Amino acid sequence: MPSFSILSASNNTFRNQRPDEKTILVVRKHWITLFGPMVFLIFFALLPFIASYFIYQVSWYDTITDLYWFIITVYFLILWVIFFGNLMIYSLNVIIVTNQRIIENHQQGLFKHTLNEMRLDKVQDITVEMNGVLANILNFGNILIQSAGTQNEFYFTKIPHPDKVKKTIMDARNECGSL
Amino acid sequence: MNNMSLDVITNNGSLISLIGFLVILILYLWYTFAIVYHFVRFGVGVRPKVLAFVFLVGSFILFVLMVDAYFTVDWTSLIETIITPPV
């Protein structure tokens, strides 16, 4: 169905993309960055069920049953918005590698973000760091990209498959430089 | 004067609860719009669009449940019970 193709197919286009610019790679942080907030949210999501076990046993529960369920629905609605607010920030924190530049969108809040970019032909050196047991098991790490331009370096943290990302950027840089 | 204030609150229990509900509704609509807008407008690739869709569906379901729960509560007698001191 054409109207639902947006949910299955994408050319990874982005705002301010140039007409002759093609997206090569889109990278988001490793899912481990969401682990902490999600644990908190799951805990808060279970709280009403734990509370209801104790509330059911009080004698005046029957008088506030309807109010209790109204408060629960508002509570879960707020949790739902907070959950997807976190997911929004996670999914908008993105590194885009095109055939011309590397763009980093750093979403810091609902209405706060920074946008950095570096020309691909200015990339000089890429360093990958993988520190710790968890990073090696789950295959995520930090990438330092140094350039010759005024934007001296990019430092991306907790990137999945950093070796592959490094290779993709280097290949794109070499192809860009050979044109 | 205090008794008059309590009477005003008791007699307008439904109105007070409606105002509170509208405040929650406006905040919810604002944050829902902002999140969906950011997902669709600034999201790159398929994943943000899928998340926006899931968020909208879940929000709608929870919103309907919240409205249903709101109209189940007898706000006037509830506020009266809270305000009226026990004998």
For every residue of A98-149, DSSP letters joined together read ESSEEEEEEEEETTEEEEEEEEGGGEEEEEEE--SHHHHHHTEEEEEEEESS
Inter-CA distances, A172 with A1, A83, A117, A150, Å? 34, 36, 15, 21
* A94 phi, psi to nearest 5 deg: -140, 150
Provide the residue ranges of all domains of chain A, joining segments of one domain with +: 2-12+21-29+93-178, 37-87
Say how many domains are in chain B.
1
Q: Determine contact: A75 vs chain B, CB below 8 A.
A: no
Contact by Cβ (8 Å): A92, A112: no
Give A36→chain B minimum CA distance, Å.
19
What fold, for A2-12+21-29+93-178?
A: PH-domain like (2.30.29)
Contact by Cβ (8 Å): A158, A33: yes
Q: What is the pLDDT along chain A (179 residues), one digit of tens a residue?
A: 445 566 666 667 787 788 888 899 999 999 999 999 899 999 999 998 888 888 777 766 666 788 888 899 999 999 999 999 999 999 999 999 999 999 999 888 888 888 888 888 888 889 999 999 999 999 999 999 988 766 678 899 999 999 999 999 999 988 876 64
Predicted structure pTM score: 0.82
A residues 78-117 lying closer than 8 A (beta carbon) to B: 80-81, 84-85, 87-88, 91-92, 94, 96, 105, 110-111
Side chain identity at residue A163, one-letter code = D
ipTM of the complex: 0.81
Residue B66: which of A66, A67, A73 has the nearest Cβ? A73
* Domain housing B6: 2-83
Give B8→chain A minimum CA distance, Å.
22
Using a CB-CB cut-off of 8 Å, the residues of chain A touching B31 are 81, 85, 110
